Structure 1
């Protein structure tokens, strides 16, 4: 996948656990860099294809403008309430813009899998509804860090 995690090997997810986790989870938090250098974070739904994280973002958003200027991104997907339940993944790298902007549904082989996965997971549909306000971002991560505190055992 990406760079190997150096610390926390004991709580690191295996490749299979990571793939299953990213496939089942629905919401992520996306961090971008604003023009003044400050971070900006917001929540988005996503789809995972086994290699890349696909984000369907409003094209008239601060996130979109930030990424057009500087495509570096960090994304966190996590859950758990109690310490021993905490688990998650941080993915970082550079996004690529995919397909038409904004997306209106023109045929695009590059987006077929991402749109099918996203539509099933988030809308319970077999095909992607397009509103002409969103477009696709693809993150194929340069670095991945994961944690699953349930592996520590305990109460």
Structure 2
């Protein structure tokens, strides 16, 4: 992957903290939900309920599709990315603690309320590893996209 494109992707990931992620339901239909995320470079982490439909979907099929962008007024200012990726449940306690720390660092102020960190045993934590990333930047032309494959 070209280093300039990689830096652009990481800058977009660093700028945002929510994404829409689609998993595959048992009936084959996609299920899209919004989740908070944190990233360490190109690797993303998110959490959900241990018994959630999303966790059940990912236990069957680890493929996901996700989108990250802004809701802006000017169409020619759209910047964002979509990603085809694999989401794997984090089972290592140290990685789980790291992921939770990254996630909650993205939300430092909650109206003066300090939220207690859940333990990795209380939630399902997923590591998202990209396979293909589409970087959208309308400032370079209508629907301008850089499509890159990943080997992370």
Q: Same fold (TM over 0.5)?
A: yes
Structure with higher RCO (Cα < 8 A, 6+ apart): 1
Over 3 Å off, 4+ runs: none
Superposition CA RMSD, Å: 2.6
Report SS of the residue matched to 1:43: strand
Task: Give unpaired runs (5+ residues) of structure 2.
Answer: 143-152
How many Å apart are 1:64 and its aligned residue?
Answer: 1.0
Report SS of the residue matched to 1:142: strand
How many Å apart are 1:143 and its aligned residue?
Answer: 0.8
Corresponding residue for residue 14 of structure 1? 5
Corresponding residue for residue 33 of structure 1? 24
How many Å apart are 1:136 and its aligned residue?
Answer: 0.7
Corresponding residue for residue 45 of structure 1? 36
Corresponding residue for residue 137 of structure 1? 126
1:115-142: CA deviation from partner (whole Å, max 9, x where unpaired): 22211112459x9700654221111111
Corresponding residue for residue 151 of structure 1? 140
Task: Give unpaired runs (5+ residues) of structure 1.
Answer: 5-12, 101-107
Residues matched between the structures, number: 136
